[in-house]
Amino acid sequence: MSILLIEAFYGGSHKQLMDLLNQKIEGCILYSLPAKKWHWKARTSALSFMQTIPSSDSYRVLFTSSVLNLAELVALRPDLGKLRKILYFHENQLVYPVRKSQERDFQYGYNQILSCLVADTVVFNSTFNMESFLKSIGTFLKMIPDHRPKDLEAAIRPKCRVIYFPIRFPDVTQFLPAHKCLSKKITHSKASEESCRMGHQYQPPSKACESVGENFQSSLHHSDPNVQHKNKEDFEGVNNPIPSERRHVHENISGLGESVDPHRPLHIVWPHRWEHDKDPETFFNVLLKLQEHGLPFAVSVLGETFTDVPDIFSEFRITLGSSVLHWGFLASKNDYFQALCMADVVISTAKHEFFGVAMLEAVHCGCYPLCPKSLVYPEIFPAQYLYSTPEQLLKKLQNFCKRPDIVRKHQLQGDITRFSWAALSGEFRSLLSAQPGEDCDRWGQVANLKL
C-alpha cells in the first residue's frame, strides 16, 4: 500500500470517488468516517485520524477531500506531512450559500485555506469551483478584524488544477423507452468492447430499441455502473429488471422498450438533495404556474433527504396531487435509473452547484437538461440548455408541456463521456503516481508569506 486515502465524510460523491480510486488503482488503503454531522467532521476529524491511521513506511501519497483540516492532521502526525499531499475539492466553503451572511461559520472556509497551504497539489472538480474559491480568498479573509494575511491566492493558485469528478455511468439500455434507445451508429460491437474494457457484461438493446433508428443519439456510452449514495456491492446486477414488488415506482409510465404515447404528458424529474441550496421553492413555484395555466405534466421528485427537510416538500406533495409519479429518495439504483430513463426533462434550480452528478446521470438516461445559466452549468452544458430567470424556465416548460414530442425527438448536443471514469482515469492515475519531490517541501512557504 502506497496511497493513503482519507475521507472525513464518507457519503455521496465523496464516497463514490474514494471507492472508485480504492477499487481501480493499486496500492490504496482507505480510512474514513461516517457521513453524519458534517460540521463536526470538519471540526474534529483530524484528531480522530491522528489516532486511527497507523504509522507506515510504505505510504507515499496522501489523498483527501477538503472536509478534513489537512493542516491539523500533518501537525499532529509529522510522518504524514512528509507524504505528497493531494487535496480534492468537491465544494468550497467560501461561496457555499447560506441563508444569512451571519450564518456563515468562518472556521470552515479558514480550514480549507489552511489545507491548501500545506497541500502539494490542490484539485477541484470544476473550473467554477476552483475560480470561485481562489477569487474569494481575499474577500473572505476581510472578516478577520486585524492582522489579515495577504497574497494567499498567489501562494495557492500555482498548485491548483481541475480534474472533473469521474462518474461511472451504467448501461441503461434495457430501461430506455423506444425513443431514447441508442442510435444504430453506436454498434453492438463497439458498446460491447467498451463494456468489457470497463469490466462488466454488455447486454445489447432490446429489439424495440434496435428498430428506433436515430431519433435519440447522445453520449450514452456503456460504462461502469454507479449512482449517488451506493456501495460497491450495489453495482452488481445493474442490468437486472426491477422486481415486481417495486413496480409502483413507475405507475402510469409506459413499458420499457415500448414506443411512448405522443399524447402522454411531459414527465419532469428533479433528482436533487432536499435542501435549501437546491432552491426547491423556485422549482415548485414554476410547477404551480404550469398547473394554473392548465398544462398537463407528470413529476418525479427524487433525491436524498436529511434531518431537516424544508416544509415546502410536504406542502407541494399535496398541491401537485395526481401529477406526482414518484416522491422521495430511491434507495435502489435500478429504481433510480429506471425513473430517470422514463422522464423527459431534468431540471436544476440550484443556488449552489460545483459539479452536478445528478444532472449528468439524468442526461445519461436521455433527459433533456434545463439548468441555471450560472454556477458550474455553463461549463458542463451547451447554452441551449441554460436559462437565466425562473420566467425563462417557465416559458420553456410551457412549450414542452404543449409539445412534449419536441423533447422526445431532440438530439442531445454535447458529450458527457468526458466526465466518465473511462475518460478521466488516466489523469487520476497520473496524479496518484507522482513521486514526492521538490514541490513537497512547502513547510517554509507559510512563514514567508507577506503579512
Q: Is position 118 within any domain?
A: yes
Per the domain annotation, does 218 fall within a domain?
no
Nearest to 221 by CA among 177, 254, 185, 251: 185
Is residue 377 domain-shared with residue 248, that is, in the same domain? Answer: yes
Q: Specify whether 435 is located in the same domain as 412.
A: no
User: Based on the domain organization, do 245 and 372 belong to the same domain?
Assistant: yes
pLDDT digits (tens, 9 = 90+) for 262-286: 679 999 999 998 988 899 999 999 9
Q: What CATH number does the domain containing 271 carry?
A: 3.40.50.2000
Question: What pLDDT was estimated at residue 19?
Answer: 97
* pLDDT for res 207: 37
pTM summary value: 0.78
For residue 184, tell me if it sits in a domain.
no
Among positive and negative, which fits the CA dihedral 153, 151, 61, 19? negative
Same domain, 287 and 347: yes
Q: Do 312 and 397 fall into the same domain?
A: yes
Task: Give burial (CB, 10 Å; 0-12/13-18/19+) of 390.
Answer: middle
C-alpha cell at position 366: 436521455
**pLDDT single digits (tens) 85-142:** 999 999 999 987 665 555 568 999 999 999 999 999 999 999 999 999 999 999 999 9
What is the C-alpha end-to-end distance of the chain, expressed in Å? 40
The answer to whether residues 157 and 55 belong to one domain is yes
Q: Report the domain count for the chain.
A: 2
Q: Give domain status of residue 301, yes or no.
A: yes
pLDDT for position 221: 30
Residue 176: closest CA among 212, 140, 142, 150: 212
Question: Which stretches of the chain score pLDDT less than 50?
Answer: 182-258, 437-451
Residue 196 inside a domain? The answer is no
The one-letter amino acid at 250: H
In this structure, the answer to whether residues 271 and 409 fall within a common structural domain is yes
- Residue 323's domain comprises 236-419
Looking at the chain, the number of H-run helices and the number of E-run strands are: 19, 12
Residue 413 within a domain: yes
On whether both 242 and 273 belong to a single domain, the answer is: yes
Q: Is residue 84 part of a domain?
A: yes
Q: What is the pLDDT of residue 310?
A: 87
CATH of the domain at 26: 3.40.50
Do strands 266-270 and 3-10 pair parallel, antiparallel, or not at all (unpaired)?
A: unpaired
Judgement on whether residues 68 and 141 belong to the same structural domain of the protein: yes
Query: Residue 185 falls within a domain, yes or no?
Result: no
Q: Could you tell me if 407 and 368 are in contact, meaning their C-beta atoms sit under 8 angstroms apart?
A: yes
If asked whether residues 17 and 81 sit together in one domain, one would say: yes
With CA atoms as reference, report the closest residue to 168 among 194, 129, 130: 194
Query: Residues 6 or more apart from 367 whose CB is under 8 A from it?
Result: 269, 340, 343, 344, 345, 346
Q: 298 with 368, same domain?
A: yes
Strands (E), 11-59: 28-34
Q: Domain check: are 394 and 431 in the same one?
A: no
